[in-house]
Chain A
Amino acid sequence: MKKIKNKLNINRRNFLTGTASLAGLAATASMVPITIANANHTEGKKGLPGFISWKNRDALIVHSDKGIETHRSAIGESLITPNRNVYIRNNMPTMTDGQIGDRNNWKVSIQGVKNPKTFTLAQLKKLGHTTIATILQCSGNGRGFFEHKVRGSQWKTGAAACIFWTGVPVKAVVDACGGINKDAVFMTSAGVDHEPTGLDPKKAMVERSVPKKVYKDAMLAWEMNGVPLPNSHGGPLRMVTPGYFGINNVKHLGKVNFSKAESSVKYMKKSYRISPIGKKGSQYPSCWEMPVKSWITRPTDETGTVKAGKVQIVGVAMGGMKKVRSVKVSIDGGKSWKKAKFVGPDLGKYAWRQFAFEANLSSGTYNIASLASNGSDKQPELRMENRRGYAHNGWKDHSVQITVV
């Protein structure tokens, strides 16, 4: 079959000068000069995109150049996920060094406070300093287990990571602005990564509102696991909302507004809503608080057969908004459960705990599952069916099948 090439420049020009067809214009009212939009690029069909060429290819599953998952067995067995293995989920193209400029001069405006101000990153560093460990987890982590056709990356367990963030507490920033306005209901954070694309901010801006109370534990982070926050993870400055799904941890942060109303952009009103299959709308809950969850990270079906005898079953467990209290492990697909022990340090309620369970396994096939509890809630057996495949924490789908020889 003959390969058809086009003369794209003419078409690009049509869009920019407004001579494209009506349908095209309706679809792309704010389309972009491609020379700006293609700032990062990809190489090879399943290679890593250029903007994250520094990552560990062997640890990652490439769904697309915008959706890259960590293998179940590669999230790290020392609690913290190494940066090279951390998943990538981008709604907008990662900003380049050129677009970011001098990192210390990066600006964020604080609004909805008594004295609205704009701070540079250098100024933020004088206001306060803290380090916290939190779980960064995409709302759609586990989508790959849903049986109805769900659009989007088919994440299984690897759109999640446990990360040390360093930055300034939001509380210190609002104190420097005289405190939050009394009528504020939400903390609304906006990224500026849509700006280089030229797309309509209402459709493209990642602006997320969370309940105002979140500010008490939130921070503006400029460092990730001991290094300056990589551009691909939202550098030089990112909002960190502990306990809340990844989308609320806004990248390339340009504005924090303590607002009376939720943001009206598409990423707040329409996207990231947990609705029944076949239904959608802003009346459904937004992807905010993460639920209790756990999964096995070793042995897994990725790591081949297991030798009979003593086996260490290892995994991670998170409590969501509360500290995780216990984890049970089953080696018979959930028929019986035994308590696992937590290992390693407790990095606080927003980090996950690593757990280990020792089993003596003879040859055969085993279905290994884990079940976490935070004292109030425990993982359900089944997923909560929903249109977009969000917030999956059912233990059954997350179990692993292993063969012992």
Chain B
Amino acid sequence: MIFWPGREEKGMNKNIILCGVGGQGTILASRLIAAAAMNSGIPILTAETIGMAQRGGSVFSHLRLGEGVHSPLTARGEADLIIGFEPGETVRQLPFLKPDGAVVVNTSPVMPVSAMIGKAPYDAGEMLSYLKEHVRHLTCVDGEMAAKELGSSRVLNVVLLGAAQQSGALGFTSEEMEQALKEKVPARFLALNQAAFAFGKKTKNS
């Protein structure tokens, strides 16, 4: 039996989906969770979007933790946690969430070029109301405010991991995530990322 921090009674498998727009740093976030899993001896499979979609397209990472898992892709209705880097992308992935699953979402949208030139509308406010209506365990993070306070928009991924950690849905302790940061983030960016994680942890669940 594999020890699952804080989740012994709930079973051993966990599916996490990270989603956003190419360039937002979903891949590093996925690596950090994987490092925490490996350090705890939990088997993990992941699948990433690499290639053309990385140029501003919709991207996702699927992470599957625990034993008895074969494929890296999660089926619809089977994700325990969605970490959404962007409201519209979070709504796009919502069919993957379990009915009692949790969502952590950055409320600041990334406006697509198609919307800016008037070819396709995008109302992020509508996305957030939809999420509030259909997600039982929703945690909202103001990414724009985080960027202002931290002086960088490049650590949104770690801010969101901090929020996911404090919500309890990530299934790893703060210490385990901080250890993963130390292992995976280059030394010159570590302090900024630690601050980002601490900032994310201050988020209140709604």
A binds B: no
